[in-house]
Chain A
């Protein structure tokens, strides 16, 4: 079981309130991702749940039980740290067995559990090595192994992939998703990378300056962002925001249109502009187009190869049904 409820949680460091009153409900078995730009309080929120920081006011319930003042070890949560936080002087086996040893579990059971975890994580051949002799991905797996053996109510991940290279990150992303599917345990995952959030999450929590901007499934956030912040944060490349005359046509202050919802043509279209940069990825082509009357270039995604170069003129037509309208405060207009 791993149902976590945050009730009017606040956190202040001295005079500075980093988390204003915040409510959040995390269901058992859910994969929840906290995402936001750096300094938005997502790691602090995770550490509050873990118990590594004390909440200033409010309460935390784990499986319906008050856990606000319960010490971290007693909350039944396991955490994977950004630096992995492996114990450098212990072998992989001892690292994974450490929580079991601290819980006073007998040697035989320890051995069985460590070996089971090592098998799941492909670490069997490395059990006698020290963390210093492992690669980044292996260290990451050891850290996960140390969390698994505790059979926690929920896993907490604090930006676990940010120290890995791009290829390995994609692999580990899949492995963590698979792990979630097989364990069916609640996982809370903190990242600043919206791609990780979109690909892994059952539920995404978008944070800005300690405030929850929106909670929803990845596709809800993609299709109906509540405000310009969420709209700009979710989706890659970023959504284009158009103001002034472009927005007035749709009866509002700002409109947003994603790069993939713009039709681009070399002969005709609604808006025209000059290509400043074109990025050819093979599968897609991203064009950055300077449209007359707009301060920022508009990003457009063309499927496949699209043979234009710097300085060429192109014409853009938005898919009208996919235009997002926002008011003066940046809130979505239905």
Chain B
């Protein structure tokens, strides 16, 4: 009964949640915009007045800016590639009837429950440590020189850690998609003479395309903001400084809030460009 009365009652009841969410979003956003136009150095004189677009120009013209964009794109792209490819393969594997299916599926999701900080620490100290790490033992077992993962293959190491965390998410979404595939379609294709690889390419992959775009969209938005993994492992050295990490360094290490805020505004713009771009792809896919 959507009468005038019940509608206004609904509005009043939703108001606290809406106000809270708006405040949560608007206050930090306004503060970021406010500081981005100021020269604000907390330990070196505090608020030194308005500077116009100075911070924006300085942030972009810094020698660290473009490398950080490149690093961000490499990490996001690498993680997406690994999680989608392995996610498709893993979800097809998990879709097969097998003994202990329920337990195996829960175990597969498990990495997603581990906090980013914890998983980065575990990887850093238990796997990738060149002296005590499991991978170092493995290398030594085969008589090879252990790899110093976090300094020699730093970006790859971080991609590996983040992929490990996000693979369960991709697998889970793709598994539900694959379970909704009508088995008669596969049988029809089999009767039509399609060998297994063609069946995958012509039937399974198109069926998964929508789920894959959703995985890519959601992961991109979260991956643009990864921070803990870098902070815990390389602290931004060895070419692992992403845009997020650069902003962190500007604000906390250089104690330049204004410059960092300008970077934050750039990050908002970048994330929105990606989001709009991906929304259009998803929208097109959802129409079909």
Interface assignment of B147: CB less than 8 Å from any CB of chain A: no
On whether the beta carbons of A87 and B190 are closer than 8 Å, the reply is no
Interface assignment of B132: CB less than 8 Å from any CB of chain A: no
Q: Which residues of chain B (176-226) have a CB below 8 Å from chain A? A: 182, 184-185, 187-194, 198, 202-203, 206-207, 209
Which of chain A's residues has its CB closest to B190's CB?
A72
Question: Which of B192, B193, B202, B207 is most buried by chain A, counting CB atoms within 10 A of its CB?
Answer: B192
On whether the beta carbons of A81 and B189 are closer than 8 Å, the reply is no
Which of chain B's residues has its CB closest to A81's CB?
B184
On whether the beta carbons of A89 and B206 are closer than 8 Å, the reply is yes
On whether the beta carbons of A73 and B184 are closer than 8 Å, the reply is no
Query: 1/0 contact trace for A52-91 toward B, CB 8 Å?
Result: 1000000000000000000111000111011101111100
Which of chain A's residues has its CB closest to B205's CB?
A89
Interface assignment of B106: CB less than 8 Å from any CB of chain A: no
How many Å lie between the Cα of A73 and that of B202 in the bound state? 16
How many Å lie between the Cα of A102 and that of B189 in the bound state? 9
How many residues in A have their beta carbons less than 8 Å from beta carbons of B? 24
On whether the beta carbons of A150 and B192 are closer than 8 Å, the reply is yes
On whether the beta carbons of B193 and A102 are closer than 8 Å, the reply is yes
Interface assignment of B288: CB less than 8 Å from any CB of chain A: yes
On whether the beta carbons of B207 and A73 are closer than 8 Å, the reply is no
On whether the beta carbons of A103 and B193 are closer than 8 Å, the reply is yes
On whether the beta carbons of A85 and B184 are closer than 8 Å, the reply is yes
On whether the beta carbons of B189 and A98 are closer than 8 Å, the reply is yes
Question: Which of B187, B189, B191, B288 is most buried by chain A, counting CB atoms within 10 A of its CB?
Answer: B191
On whether the beta carbons of B192 and A146 are closer than 8 Å, the reply is yes
On whether the beta carbons of B194 and A81 are closer than 8 Å, the reply is no
On whether the beta carbons of B185 and A85 are closer than 8 Å, the reply is yes
Question: Which of B187, B194, B206, B209 is most buried by chain A, counting CB atoms within 10 A of its CB?
Answer: B187
Interface assignment of A50: CB less than 8 Å from any CB of chain B: yes
B267 to chain A, nearest CB (A): 36
Query: 1/0 contact trace for A138-172 toward B, CB 8 Å?
Result: 00000000100010000000000000000000000
On whether the beta carbons of A52 and B192 are closer than 8 Å, the reply is no
How many Å lie between the Cα of A150 and that of B198 in the bound state? 18
How many Å lie between the Cα of A79 and that of B191 in the bound state? 7
On whether the beta carbons of A52 and B191 are closer than 8 Å, the reply is yes
How many Å lie between the Cα of A99 and that of B188 in the bound state? 10
Task: Pick the contact of B191: A73, A83, A89 (CB < 8 A).
Answer: A73
Which of chain A's residues has its CB closest to B209's CB?
A89
How many Å lie between the Cα of A150 and that of B189 in the bound state? 13
Known: A52-B187, A79-B188, A98-B189. A85 touches B182 (CB 8 A): yes
Known: A81-B184, A82-B184, A85-B188. A73 touches B193 (CB 8 A): yes
CB-defined contacts of A86 to chain B, threshold 8 Å: 185
Known: A98-B202, A102-B198. A85 touches B193 (CB 8 A): no
On whether the beta carbons of B194 and A102 are closer than 8 Å, the reply is yes
CB-defined contacts of B192 to chain A, threshold 8 Å: 73, 98-99, 102, 146, 150
B45 to chain A, nearest CB (A): 62
On whether the beta carbons of A87 and B185 are closer than 8 Å, the reply is yes
Q: Which residues of chain B (128-177) have a CB below 8 Å from chain A? A: none
On whether the beta carbons of B187 and A73 are closer than 8 Å, the reply is no
How many Å lie between the Cα of A51 and that of B193 in the bound state? 12
A214 to chain B, nearest CB (A): 29
Which of chain A's residues has its CB closest to B187's CB?
A52
Task: Pick the contact of A89: B182, B184, B193, B207 (CB < 8 A).
Answer: B207
CB-defined contacts of B194 to chain A, threshold 8 Å: 73, 98, 102
Question: Which of A52, A77, A150 is most buried by chain B, counting CB atoms within 10 A of its CB?
Answer: A52
Q: Which residues of chain A (99-114) have a CB below 8 Å from chain B? A: 99, 102-103
Which of chain A's residues has its CB closest to B194's CB?
A102
Q: Which residues of chain A (258-300) have a CB below 8 Å from chain B? A: none
How many Å lie between the Cα of A88 and that of B185 in the bound state? 9
B62 to chain A, nearest CB (A): 47
CB-defined contacts of A79 to chain B, threshold 8 Å: 187-188, 191
How many Å lie between the Cα of A78 and that of B184 in the bound state? 13
How many Å lie between the Cα of A78 and that of B188 in the bound state? 9
How many Å lie between the Cα of A51 and that of B187 in the bound state? 10
Which of chain B's residues has its CB closest to A47's CB?
B187
Query: 1/0 contact trace for B95-138 toward A, CB 8 Å?
Result: 00000000000000000000000000000000000000000000
On whether the beta carbons of B191 and A50 are closer than 8 Å, the reply is yes
B150 to chain A, nearest CB (A): 43
CB-defined contacts of B191 to chain A, threshold 8 Å: 50-52, 72-73, 77-79
* Chain B residues proximal to chain A, CB less than 8 Å: 182, 184-185, 187-194, 198, 202-203, 206-207, 209, 288
A-B contact pairs, 6 of them (CB 8 A): A73-B193, A83-B182, A85-B182, A87-B188, A87-B206, A98-B202
Leading 5 A-B pairs by shortest Cβ distance: A73-B193, A85-B188, A99-B192, A85-B184, A102-B193
